[in-house]
Structure 1
């Protein structure tokens, strides 16, 4: 709802929604907050995936899934 309102108010074509969790991910303040970045077609920005310089390997996704599940 909030992102839609931001897009409408700013006449944006879309938005990126992000959360920086811990210092290694860019978190600068010690509380949870969500970034809503309004976007316009051709604004020169990139997709959120562009922060990763190398795509993860996909040959072990089942193993990774199980490893993540075991951490809950």
Structure 2
């Protein structure tokens, strides 16, 4: 596939070189569960074309990527019964971008959380747990959007 960076972890996931819990895929984007979730259901949306940051992306591709956010967030929040969600997208190390491949975070949030200006601590999720949740979200997407 053109535009793939073989050293990029997200490009390797896109190429299916690394097993992952995918919830959505089309010809331009892939959405999968974050292995280091802030909260249960934390999902990443990535363009299949490698872009280091959002400023490298054509405007219409940025728009297409963000148009997926409400659709995926609705399925995620309904399956895990969260009270809300954050949408986050970082660009550059100074903005806390850890993987230099554009990605949008959908982070479910709960009213019971006591957030004092910081995110909850990330965890390491088990792949089977992520895949089980991904199946439920994928089923919700198929049921609500076909």
TM-score range, shorter chain: 0.5 to 0.7
TM-score when scaled to structure 2? 0.31
Q: State the Cα deviation string for residues 3-42 of structure 1 (Å, max 9, x = none).
A: 1111111100100010011110000111011111101112
Displacement over 4 Å in runs of 4+: none
Provide the C-alpha distance between the structure 2 equivalents of 1:32 and 1:9, rounded to a whole number of angstroms: 26
> 1:18 maps to which residue?
88
The counterpart of 1:7, out of the listed 77, 86, 90, is: 77
- What pairs with 1:1-72 in structure 2 (closer than 5 Å)? 1-45=71-115, 50=117
Q: Greater Rg, structure 1 or structure 2?
A: 1
* Gap runs ≥5 in structure 1: 52-72
TM-score when scaled to structure 1? 0.59
Q: Which secondary structure does the structure 2 equivalent of 1:6 belong to?
A: helix
Count of aligned pairs between the two proteins = 48
The CA RMSD over aligned residues, in Å, is 1.6
